[in-house]
A = this chain, B = another copy of it.
Amino acid sequence: MLVDDHLVVRVGLRGLLETQPDLTVVAEASGGAAAVAAFAEHRPDVTLMDLRMPDMGGVEATAAIRAKFPDARILVLTTFETEEDIFRVLEAGAAGCLLKNTETKPLLEAIRAAHAGTYQLPPDIAGRFAKWRAMPELSAREREVLELIVRGRSNKEIGTALGVAENTVKNHVKVILDKLRVQDRTQAATTALQRGLVSMPRRA
Q: Point out residues on A near B: beta carbons under 8 Å.
A: 5-16, 52, 79-80, 83, 100-101, 103-104, 128, 149-152, 154, 182-187, 189-190, 193-194, 200-201, 203
User: Min CB distance, A53 to chain B, in Å?
Assistant: 9
- Asked if B203 contacts A194 (CB within 8 A), the reply is yes
Chain B hits for A13, CB < 8 A: 8, 11-12
> Is chain A's binding surface mostly helix, strand, loop or mixed?
helix
Q: With A150-B190, A186-B149 in contact, do A9 and B7 touch (Cβ < 8 Å)? A: no
- A5: chain B residues at CB < 8 Å are 101
Query: Smallest CB-CB separation from A19: which chain B residue?
Result: B11
A-B contact pairs, 30 of them (CB 8 A): A6-B79, A7-B103, A7-B104, A8-B16, A9-B12, A9-B100, A11-B11, A11-B13, A11-B15, A12-B12, A12-B13, A15-B15, A52-B80, A79-B79, A128-B203, A150-B190, A151-B187, A152-B186, A152-B187, A154-B184, A185-B186, A186-B186, A186-B189, A189-B189, A189-B190, A190-B190, A190-B200, A190-B201, A193-B200, A194-B203
Q: What's the number of copies of this chain in the assembled complex? A: 2
Provide the residues of chain B in CB contact with A128, threshold 8 Å: 203
List of B residues within 8 angstroms of A154 by Cβ: 184
Q: Are B152 and A182 in contact (CB under 8 A)?
A: yes
Instruction: Output the least CB separation between A84 and chain B (Å).
Output: 11
Residue of B nearest to A198 (CB): B190
Task: State the Cβ distance, A129 to closest chain B Cβ, in Å.
Answer: 13
For the complex with contacts A11-B15, A193-B193, 19 further pairs of A-B residues with Cβ separation under 8 Å are A6-B12, A6-B79, A7-B101, A8-B9, A8-B13, A8-B16, A9-B12, A9-B100, A12-B13, A14-B15, A15-B15, A52-B80, A150-B190, A151-B187, A152-B187, A154-B184, A186-B189, A190-B200, A194-B200
